[in-house]
Amino acid sequence: MNTNEVDKLIEKYLDGLTTPAEERLLAAAVCRPCVPDRWKTVAVMLGELAQGEAEYDRHVAHRRSQRRRRVAVWSVAASLAVVSLVGVIYNSHRSHHSQADVAIAYVDGRKITDRSQVLALAEDAVCDIFDTAADEDGSMSGVFEIGGE
């Protein structure tokens, strides 16, 4: 609160129109060190009970802000742990499947494991199927391209 707001609240207090919450605010303002002398008189009038309540309110507010910071820090740490765990699981799952992703073809009893050869053989087989289908029913043009050939 600034000086003008405190002075207005003091006037309201002296007129007997303040609420208990306003009195706690006033006590917190006038009980600080290095306040004008006119405020010290009001601090005495408010008494130790109001001053104690104001100090208690400051203490509770400070504890709440500390608690919020701790919760925020732990929330961030937990989020990072979850993201890290998901990344580890994803990478281990991915590496497991990439090891099992092997190209194998058997042609005339011969095993072929070269990926490019297996893919070329599969492409030729698919083209043969479409060429045969086009020859049989005449609905296809007989030209079929895979991979931009």
Q: At what angle do helices 3-14 and 37-100 cross, to 10 degrees?
A: 120
Q: Identify the pLDDT of residue 8.
A: 92
CA–CA gap between residue 23 and residue 53 (Å, rounded): 10
CA–CA gap between residue 67 and residue 10 (Å, rounded): 33
Q: Do both 41 and 110 map to the same domain?
A: no
Q: Do both 141 and 114 map to the same domain?
A: yes
Q: Do both 20 and 83 map to the same domain?
A: yes
Instruction: With CA atoms as reference, report the closest residue to 47 among 25, 28, 27.
Output: 27
Average pLDDT over residues 22-28: 83
Strand, coil or helix: 107: strand
Q: Which of 62-76, 80-94, 97-111 has the lowest mean pLDDT?
A: 97-111
Domain count, the chain: 2
Assess whether pLDDT exceeds 50 at residue 50: yes
Q: Identify the pLDDT of residue 133.
A: 60
Q: Do both 77 and 116 map to the same domain?
A: no
Q: Identify the pLDDT of residue 142.
A: 47
pTM as predicted = 0.35
Q: Do both 89 and 37 map to the same domain?
A: yes
Q: Do both 124 and 144 map to the same domain?
A: yes
Average pLDDT over residues 94-111: 72
